[in-house]
Amino acid sequence: MKASHAFAVELPDWCRTLADELPDRLPDATDRMRLAIDLSRRNVSAGTGGPFGAVVSSIADGRLIAIGVNRVEPETCSSAHAEIVALSLAQATLSTWNLADAAGAPMELATSCEPCAMCLGAIPWSGVQRVVCGATKRDAEITGFDEGERPGDWIGVLNRRGIDVQTEILQADAAEVLAEYRRTGARIYNP
């Protein structure tokens, strides 16, 4: 077996096209959540990954930095969650591994679902200072996804690191995308 020495995760074509059509700014956090949910819905309808979407933006003026969708199965990469994709693209766009140091900081991560255990771990290292979530961990688990173990006080854990968290923003809309994914019979991937 010849080992790979690099990997890349790419957004699907429809997502790149959409990114070019988006406004430069979405000043309202609810609008950024609508975009994250729309990304998750489009990802399901296009069959290009799981039912999760995320957006990284500047808190001060809503400037859009990066978008991401779940690419686990198409990219055969268990870490290609929407949050990780969006954070990684934001860091590449701004040429920094620490979004707290980027021009336009502080930054927000809007995600169509509360973070799983992996994404929760990545959030503090990314440098974002606010996380806005749509669907709940329970919504994802009802759909069949294994979200992993998270501290009961996960919001407090992030708050103590200076990261503000808002949950259940447009929760019903975000949860409906998860339910639709399940109704399509698409694969629920778990370890």
Q: Is 83 a catalytic residue?
A: yes
Residue 180: strand, helix, or coil: helix
* Active-site residue (options: 21, 73, 83, 147): 83
Q: Count CB atoms within 10 A of the CB of residue 39.
A: 31
| Among 120, 113, 144, 116, residue whose Cα is nearest residue 43 | 113
Q: How far apart are CA 145 and CA 143, in angstroms?
A: 6
* Cα–Cα distance for residue pair 22/110, rounded to 1 Å: 16
Each residue of 125-140: b (16+ CB within 10 Å) or e?
A: ebbbbbbbbbbbbebb
Angle between helices 13-21 and 29-46 (to 10 degrees): 150
Active site residues: 83
